[in-house]
Chains A and B, each alone.
Chain A
Amino acid sequence: MENNFSAENSLRLIAETIERSRRTIAKNSGKPLILWGALVAVTAIVIWALWSKTGSAAWNFLWFAMSAIGAVSMRFMTRNSEKVPDTEVSRMLGKIWMWFGIFSTGFFALVWAAWGLRCAIGIEGPLRVDLTLIIVLLMGLCGTLSGAALKFKPITISSVVATALSVLFLMVMPEGSALRILTFVILGLFALIIPGVILQKQTNN
Chain B
Amino acid sequence: MPDNGKLFKPLDPLLHSELRLAVMSILLDAGSADFVYLKAETGATSGNLSVQLDKLQQAGYIEVTKGFKGKMPQTVCSITDRGRDAFAAYVDALRSYIPGSKN
**A interface list, Cβ under 8 A from B:** 1-11, 13-14, 17-18, 20-21, 83-89
Contact B17 A84 (CB under 8 A): no
Q: A7-B97, A10-B94, A84-B37 are in contact. Are A1 and B18 (CB under 8 A)?
A: yes
Total A-B residue contacts, Cβ distance less than 8 Å: 69
Contact A21 B26 (CB under 8 A): yes
Q: How far is the CA of A73 from the CA of B14 in the complex (A)?
A: 44
* Residue in B32, B33, B91, B98 whose CB lies within 8 Å of A14: B91
Contact residues in B for A6 (Cβ distance below 8 Å): 97
Contact A17 B25 (CB under 8 A): yes
Contact residues in A for B46 (Cβ distance below 8 Å): none
Contact B16 A4 (CB under 8 A): yes
Number of interface residues of B (CB under 8 A): 27
Q: How far is the CA of A1 from the CA of B44 in the complex (A)?
A: 8
Contact A4 B37 (CB under 8 A): no
Q: How far is the CA of A86 from the CA of B17 in the complex (A)?
A: 25
Contact A85 B21 (CB under 8 A): no
Contact B16 A85 (CB under 8 A): no
* Residue in A1, A10, A85 whose CB lies within 8 Å of B32: A85
Q: How far is the CA of A9 from the CA of B11 in the complex (A)?
A: 14
Q: How far is the CA of A87 from the CA of B21 in the complex (A)?
A: 17
Q: A11-B98, A17-B25, A18-B29 are in contact. Are A83 and B37 (CB under 8 A)?
A: yes
Q: B19 in the interface, Cβ–Cβ < 8 Å?
A: yes
* Residue in A7, A85, A87 whose CB lies within 8 Å of B94: A7
Q: A13-B18, A14-B91, A83-B37 are in contact. Are A1 and B29 (CB under 8 A)?
A: no
Contact B94 A13 (CB under 8 A): no
Q: How far is the CA of A87 from the CA of B37 in the complex (A)?
A: 13
Contact A86 B31 (CB under 8 A): yes
